[in-house]
Amino acid sequence: MAEVEETLKRIQSHKGVIGTMVVNAEGIPIRTTLDNSTTVQYAGLLHQLTMKTKSTVRDIDPQNDLTFLRIRSKKHEIMVAPDKEYLLIVIQNPCE
Amino acid sequence: MAPKKKSPKGRKKMRGKKSPTPILPVSEEVEPINMESMGHPEIYPLVLTTKTQEIFNCRIDEDVTDEHPYKLIPKEDIFEDMRNRAAVSDFHPVKKIIQEYPGDELLLVYDKDFRYGLNFYLIGTEEGKENYFNPSEVPEEQEENKEHIPEDVYMYKLPVSKPWVSLGSEKEIEEESVKDSTKQITYMISRKRSEFGAPIKFSDQNASSVKDGYIECTSYPDKIFTLKQLEKDVSMQVVPQIRDISTQTRWTYPKNATTQYYPREFSEEEKTALNQSKSLADFLNNVSMSVEIALQQNEIMNTFIDDWKNLAEEEGTFGDKTDTHLKEYQSFTDLHSPTEKMITCISWHPTIYGLIAVSVAVRLSFEDRVHFSGKLLLQPSLILFWSFSDPIHPQLMLESPDDIFCFQFCPSDPNIIAGGCINGQIILWDITAHADRIENIKTGDSRSKKPTLKPMFLLEPDSNKEAMYIRHCAVSSIENGHKNVITDIHWLSDTFEINRMGSVFENRSGICCQLATCSADCTICFWDIRQQKVATPQPTEKKKEESIEIPFDVPSTFMHLDLSWKPLIKVRLSKGETSLDHCPTKMSLNQDHLLYKSQDKMLAQNKAAKAGETSPYHNLEGGMIDHLRPIDDFCTKFFMGTEEGEVIYTDWKLERDPETGRYTSKKPVSLYAVHDGAVHTIQRSPFYNDIILTVGGWNVAIWKEGVVTGPLLQSCCAPKRYTSGHWSLTRPGVFYIGREDGYIDIWDLLEKTHEPAQSQNICITMITYIKPQTFSSKQQFIAVADYYGTLHILEIPWTLSHPSTNEVSSVNHYFEREVKHLEYVLQRKMIREKEKKEMELEMEKKKVKTYQKSKEQMEAEMRMDYESYLELERSVLINLGLIKVTEMLSYMDMM
């Protein structure tokens, strides 16, 4: 649908964004702007990490839930937005 | 009771049988013990009991005394005693002797001192008796001689027997002696004669079976000996309970296992289906907001920057002035040269640490040279190789026909050196044969401790004392080469080569094989050190005629070039129709700076190693450029500095002149007259390929290739003339300038751009050449040559050698700013021109306007002017005092 395209395009056009991908609940990529091998690697690793984070948050407080995950590394920042069925992963290079 | 019983039995047996002989102590005929072992075989020691002593009247201390220790005893008495007392007689042991004794009386001596072991002794022979009475002390001469010296004669006194005096010793003896308390029981057991030899039957009998067979001493608890224990010492120790258990585990051995997998992926249809699904759209709607917020946060600011850290580094470079001076490390002077020399060019050895080569020339003006030319011919012109380990003797000396003004090591093989002479010849040296000599030099440590230890002790002793003079390998042709002093020489990079037209081709040989030289005869020549394929018959004939004999120690690497070397291209720098041409002093080609970067040092070494034992220079072949296509977009332009102080940017490619049809050199692209004196340094920055430093006359200029408006930076006139310059090798914004009064100015573009950051005195005379060199990140040296022929090596301090983290980008920014500034200036110039034009137009317009005023207005105006003039006149006259005020009133009335 056009909305989907437009949203993803908007996100991708932000300054410093290296790649965007949408992953389903099992870690299988649905949509991506990067090449296949990188996508598969990111999807697998971040899916597991998100699961772990979610369970950690809920273990501490069962009423709580994970809304956003940001990983800042030396080279860039990985942002993960989880949901019930899907996962949106954005990689951005914040340094000018 | 038992003995009683047995005795009748025994007696019975006795009666019945022939009783064996009673068991009595048998007197054996035993030899009496004599003192033969002591040397007196006649002496027999005896024990005489008191009873015996009474019998024989030889009681101790009565009959027998010290003075009279002997007694003569008749034999008969002894025999009688022996008969009476039999074996109990004390004389029994010596019975035999007494029986054999010939004489009647035996001598019995009292042995008070127990000399022979017992209290008496008997002399068994007559001779002994005689000896005793007479000098019987003969054996004891030694002892008794001393005693008897005062007494010459010993009066023999017969012993007088005295009655026994009991002193109580009998009681002691009685007590001590063991006597039988009861009589010993003797048993006699006998058997019937008929049973002799028959086996004996013994049987056991319990003692209790017979009444009174035994006497029993039963034990009973005796109360006397029981002790009641009232106290007890008890101690306890706690011990942990230990259990030893062991188990056996199953040993698993490591196994290599692999898995192979592929990721799960959706097929294309599934993907499209999902993309269309509503759930995805909803998801994205929900999530995109937060994602975009996060993205924007990053764009606004980088929250993870450590500001303190960034600040600290900047302060380090600008504020730290503690150790910024160049420290003197070493200096070299050639003490053997007869005339005064100056250093014209310096070059560090590209691979060997601590080795530096300088070219020296005589310090004479042209006239003096001509005047002393005869003397100069005899002295060799040299390139000296100095090593840090030996400041007095140069390691190698390269000979050349005339003074060298510039030289360079070949980048791909440091054993090949090319130099430009004062007479326009190019000289080539090949020091491969001596390469091991200079490589074995130890640097640094041995210098200060053992000045006498020569570094070349490994080689023959005769070469120890003086450095080797190495003759040149090849010289260029005199007629075809330069006609004047060669001012600059460069090796072309080994990545490209050029042909006669100036077109650039790829260099397949992998080594530097072409040179570029510029000389004061206004030409730039390109040379190829390989043998040219085109061989005209004339040169070969000439060679045959001359039949040059080459000295044995000169390598034949460049024999093909010797004296017949012609340049490939000759570029004439003409100023146009006028006869005066540009006289180049230095040039800077495009690829120069790459040759000196340390990474390429390794590359050069690798290349030389790959080539094997024989250097590729020994097997040079002609270029293969005939088969290759020229590279079109190669930049063939280069910078050049002239003697008049101009900086020229020109091309070396020859173009076809449309008029004459010949190939001529192009006209320079741009020309800048910036410096007031000859440009002696043109150098590209080691960090930026298009930034060039030019030093000449009294100022410095920095240029960017491509920016044609002018220099990025042009310094104002310095108080002293600048005579040499060089970029710093590690800091992009630093360069060193040498002055004519022996000072070095250190410029730091990030600190000050209008004047040098530092100035330091090195020597008293003009600095002719500066050349820095990096050996490691901690050691960086700068070689400074002066006019008097001394080479100073200075150590560059940390602050000047170590760049800050973003220095490269800062300096880059600075240059970009300058470029923009130039552009801005240009624009402003244009704007100003426009403005000026506009202003002039307006002025013109104004003038036109004023001309069209009406006549009446003009008259009115004129009148007004006239009246104002009259008033002015009156006021002046009043001031002067020529007209009185009252008069003025009447005058006014009149009006």
pLDDT tens track for A55-80:
999 999 999 999 999 999 888 899 99
Q: From the candidates B270, B288, B813, which should be mutated to test the interface with A, based on the most A CB atoms within 10 A?
A: B288
Please count the CA atoms within 13 angstroms of the CA of B312 that sit on its side-chain side: 4
Domain span holding position A46: 16-92
Ramachandran angles phi, psi of B123, nearest 5°: -90, 125
Which residues in chain A touch residue B279, judged by CB atoms under 8 angstroms apart?
Answer: 85-86
- 3 state SS of B224: helix
The most confident of B55-59, B132-136, B459-463, B567-571, by mean pLDDT: B567-571
Which residues in chain B touch residue A1, judged by CB atoms under 8 angstroms apart?
Answer: 275-276, 281
For chain A positions 26-65, those within 8 Å of chain B (CB to CB) are 26-31, 40, 43-44
- Give ipTM to 2 decimals: 0.86
Q: Give the separation between CA B192 and CA B475, rounded to whole angstroms.
A: 151
- Which residues 6+ apart lie within 8 Å of B616 measured at CB? B412, B413, B509, B510, B511
**B741 to chain A, minimum CA–CA distance in Å?**
48
pLDDT band of A34, cuts 50, 70, 90: very high
Tokens, residue B864 = 């007004």
Nearest to B298 among A44, A67, A92 (CB): A92
Residue B102 lies in a domain: yes
Place of tokens 């009565």: B62
Number of Cβ atoms within 10 Å of the Cβ of B192: 11
Where does a domain end: B117, B132, B147? B132
Q: Is the pLDDT of residue B345 over 50?
A: yes
Q: Give the separation between CA B69 and CA B114, rounded to whole angstroms.
A: 12
Helices then strands, counting H and E runs in chain A, come out as 2, 5
Tokens, residue B47 = 């024990």
Please give the sequence-ordered ranges of beta strands (E in DSSP) within B431-538, or none if there are none: 468-470, 474-475, 486-491, 496-498, 504-506, 514-519, 523-528
Range with the lowest mean pLDDT among A2-16, B247-261, B470-484?
B470-484
State which H helix or E strand residue B831 sits in.
Answer: helix B807-851
Cβ distance of B298 and A67 shorter than 8 Å: no
Which residues in chain B touch residue A11, judged by CB atoms under 8 angstroms apart?
Answer: 288, 291-292, 295
* The dihedral formed by the CA atoms of B759, B763, B767 and B768, expressed in degrees to the nearest 10: -150
How many structural domains comprise chain B?
2
Please state the pTM of the whole predicted model.
0.53
**A24 to chain B, minimum CA–CA distance in Å?**
9
Nearest partner of B800 among B880, B858, B870, B733, judged by Cα: B733
Query: Is pLDDT larger for residue B510 or for residue B491?
Result: B491
- DSSP secondary structure code for residue B433 in this structure: G
- Which residues 6+ apart lie within 8 Å of B90 measured at CB? B46, B47, B48, B49, B52
Q: From the candidates A6, A8, A13, A24, which should be mutated to test the interface with B, based on the most B CB atoms within 10 A?
A: A24
> What pLDDT is attached to residue B135?
59
User: Which amino acid belongs to residue B844?
Assistant: E
Which residues in chain A touch residue B289, judged by CB atoms under 8 angstroms apart?
Answer: none
State which H helix or E strand residue B606 sits in.
Answer: helix B598-610
Q: Give the separation between CA B571 and CA B636, rounded to whole angstroms.
A: 13
Q: Look at phi and psi of residue B429 and say left if phi exceeds 0, alpha if psi is from -120 to 50, else beta.
A: beta
> What pLDDT is attached to residue A51?
95
Ramachandran angles phi, psi of B633, nearest 5°: -95, 20
pLDDT band of B392, cuts 50, 70, 90: confident
- Which residues 6+ apart lie within 8 Å of B14 measured at CB? B188, B190
Cβ distance of B295 and A92 shorter than 8 Å: yes
Place of tokens 């991708």: A12
Q: Is the pLDDT of residue B243 over 80?
A: yes
Cβ distance of B292 and A72 shorter than 8 Å: no
Query: Is pLDDT larger for residue B336 or for residue B608?
Result: B336
What pLDDT, in 10s, does the model give residues B787-807? 888 889 988 888 888 887 778
> What pLDDT is attached to residue A87?
93
State which H helix or E strand residue A72 sits in.
Answer: strand A69-72
Q: Is the pLDDT of residue B532 over 50?
A: yes
Domain span holding position B864: 853-883
Number of Cβ atoms within 10 Å of the Cβ of B131: 17
Nearest to B275 among A30, A77, A79 (CB): A30
How many structural domains comprise chain A?
1
Which residues in chain B touch residue A14, judged by CB atoms under 8 angstroms apart?
Answer: 292, 295-296, 299
Taking CA–CA distances from A81, the nearest residue in chain B reads B287
**B306 to chain A, minimum CA–CA distance in Å?**
13
Cβ–Cβ < 8 Å for B489, B434: no
Cβ distance of B283 and A83 shorter than 8 Å: yes
Where does a domain end: B132, B160, B186? B132
**A60 to chain B, minimum CA–CA distance in Å?**
23
> What pLDDT is attached to residue A23?
92
Dihedral sign (CA B667, B668, B669, B673) = negative
pLDDT band of B212, cuts 50, 70, 90: confident
> What pLDDT is attached to residue B536?
42
> What pLDDT is attached to residue B316?
45
Cβ distance of A15 and B299 shorter than 8 Å: yes
Which residues in chain A touch residue B302, judged by CB atoms under 8 angstroms apart?
Answer: 94-96
Q: Give the separation between CA B702 and CA B22, rounded to whole angstroms.
A: 152
Q: Is the pLDDT of residue B322 over 90?
A: no
Nearest to B274 among A7, A30, A40 (CB): A30
Query: Is pLDDT larger for residue B577 or for residue B883?
Result: B883
User: Which amino acid belongs to residue B179?
Assistant: K
Please give the biggest Cα pair distance in chain A.
40
Which residues in chain B touch residue A88, judged by CB atoms under 8 angstroms apart?
Answer: 283-284, 287-288, 291
Please give the sequence-ordered ranges of beta strands (E in DSSP) within B499-605, or none if there are none: 504-506, 514-519, 523-528, 567-572, 584-588
What pLDDT, in 10s, does the model give residues B347-371? 988 888 888 888 888 887 778 778 8
What pLDDT, in 10s, does the model give residues B494-509? 777 777 777 777 777 7
Cβ–Cβ < 8 Å for B866, B858: no
Please give the sequence-ordered ranges of beta strands (E in DSSP) within B492-537, or none if there are none: 496-498, 504-506, 514-519, 523-528
Cβ–Cβ < 8 Å for B773, B348: yes
Cβ–Cβ < 8 Å for B513, B507: yes
H helices present in chain A, as ranges: 2-12, 36-60
What pLDDT, in 10s, does the model give residues B62-73? 766 667 777 777
> What pLDDT is attached to residue B466?
54
pLDDT band of B603, cuts 50, 70, 90: very low
Residue B592 lies in a domain: no
Cβ–Cβ < 8 Å for A22, A10: no
Range with the lowest mean pLDDT among B229-243, B390-404, B560-574, B689-703?
B560-574
Ramachandran angles phi, psi of B371, nearest 5°: -65, -45
Q: Give the separation between CA B772 and CA B781, rounded to whole angstroms.
A: 6
Strands A29-32 and B734-739: unpaired
Average pLDDT, integer, range B588-593: 59
Q: Is the pLDDT of residue B835 over 50?
A: yes
Dihedral sign (CA B570, B575, B577, B578) = negative
Sheet with B637-642, edge to edge strand ranges: B584-588, B637-642, B646-651, B670-673
∠ CA B29-B35-B36 to the nearest 5 degrees? 90
The percent of residues in chain B predicted with pLDDT above 90, rounded, is 5
Q: Give the separation between CA B473 and CA B615, rounded to whole angstroms.
A: 15
Where does a domain end: B132, B155, B184? B132
Q: Give the separation between CA B410 and CA B608, rounded to whole angstroms.
A: 12
Average pLDDT, integer, range B519-545: 61
Residue A9 lies in a domain: no
Tokens, residue B654 = 């020859």
Residue B40 lies in a domain: yes
Residue B91 lies in a domain: yes
Residue A11 lies in a domain: no
Cβ distance of A67 and B290 shorter than 8 Å: yes
Q: How many CB pairs lie under 8 A apart between chains A and B?
A: 86
Nearest to A11 among B276, B280, B288 (CB): B288
CATH number, domain at A31?
A: 3.30.450.30
The percent of residues in chain B predicted with pLDDT above 70, rounded, is 73
